[in-house]
Structure 1
Amino acid sequence: MESMNFLAILAAAISALVVGFIWYNPKVFGTAWMKAADMSEEKIKGANMAKIFIMAFIFAILLAMSIMPMVIHQMGAFSLAQGELGVQPSYEAFMAEYANEFRTFKHGAFHGVLAGIFVALPILGTNALFERKSAKYILINTGYWVVTMAVMGAIICGWV
């Protein structure tokens, strides 16, 4: 069975923080996000940033682990070939033939973008609607997650 590549998961989790550092920089979308989120410098300075970054990193690890089966198709093959008595011979044959198929950075990024659009957008969009946030707020935050999930997917899928 395809095992978890913990170095790829760690790198993908770190990438979420790096993309966020760039995305929410005042020279990129930071100033627009602060206005759309009704955030001020005082609110930011009053926060426990160590706690925020530690929790963000933990959440990024969880996200990286959940993206793995979305971007690595071979993980689904194991559950399809597993019978009541264990792994079927067809699984070994499948993995011998296709173990590295679609294991590229490009393929992982593609599935990461799809996950961002079809998972992150509906979740963030629904929350933002009930919070009475603007379309700009939704687009900035969803854009971050689409890019982040693309990078995470690329790292996880391409790191063979």
Structure 2
Amino acid sequence: MEFNFLAMIVAAVSALVVGFIWYNPKTFGTAWMKVADMTEEKMKGANMAKIFGLALLFAFLLSTALPGIVIHQMGAFSLVGGDPANALPSYEAFMADYSDAFRTFKHGVFHGVLTGIFIALPILGTNALFERKSAKYIFINVGYWIVTLGLMGGIICAWK
């Protein structure tokens, strides 16, 4: 089992696509600007190429962590040290029986959403509490990550 870098790249790009939709003024963008204390003037001074470039890099880094969360077979792969050539014959038999088990978009979305709830929410929520941000701020940002991680997880899990 090898890492599917194309799936990870597509998953990383999907994070930006969801962001364009989620933070659009017609969805949550206006509300986010208000609770984040962001203004049009502050946004005008930003280096958008740097922001989007780093956002894509960070999304790619995140996508490299997701296979271990959304693909069950990665556990077996890790048990053989990442090199099936050195595995016992039982590894080949296991993978022959279960290599496609739970490898669906729906299953990846499930684990991606759980990742958003149990990893993104506690991290972003804790930061927001100490920054004295509102619950609305937390829900907007965590909602983005729950949807994004769900989509990323679905892409990575289903793309064999």
TM-score (ref. length: structure 2): 0.95
Match for residue 17 of structure 2? 18
Partner of 2:98 in structure 1?
98
- How many angstroms apart in 2 are the aligned matches of 1:45 and 1:102? 45
**Which residue does 1:75 correspond to in 2?**
74
> After the TM superposition, which residues 81-120 of structure 1 pair with which residues of structure 2 at under 5 Å, given as runs?
81=80, 86-120=86-120
Any idea what SS the aligned residue of 1:28 has? coil
- The C-alpha deviation readout for 1:12-52, integer Å capped at 9, x for no partner, is 00000000000000000000000000000001111000000
- 2:159: which partner in 1? 159
Q: Distance in 2 between matches of 1:89 and 1:45?
A: 60
Name the structure 1 match of 2:63: 64
**Contact residue 81 and residue 90 of structure 1 kept, 8 A:** no
Structure 2 CA distance for aligned equivalents of residues 88 and 79 of structure 1: 13
What percentage of aligned pairs have identical amino acids?
A: 72
1:142-153, aligned counterparts within 5 Å?
A: 142-153=142-153
Between the aligned partners of 1:70 and 1:136, the Cα distance in structure 2 is 28
Could you list the runs of 5+ residues in structure 1 that have no partner in the other structure?
none
Q: Give yes or no for the alignment of 1:45 onto 2:80.
A: no
Under a length normalisation based on structure 1, what TM-score does the superposition of the two structures give? 0.95
Equivalent residue, structure 2, for 1:29: 28
The one-letter amino acid of 1:138's match is I
Q: Please, which runs of 5 or more residues in structure 2 have no aligned partner?
A: none
Q: Per-residue deviation at 1:80?
A: 3.2
Distance 2:43 2:105 in 1: 35
Q: Answer with 73-82 or 27-36: which moved more.
A: 73-82
Contact 1:124 1:142 in 2 (8 A): yes
- The runs of at least 4 aligned residues of structure 1 exceeding 6 Å deviation read none
AA at the equivalent of 1:14:
V
Deviations 1:70-94 (A, max 9, x none): 0011010123355xxx412211110
| Structure 2 SS opposite 1:15 | helix
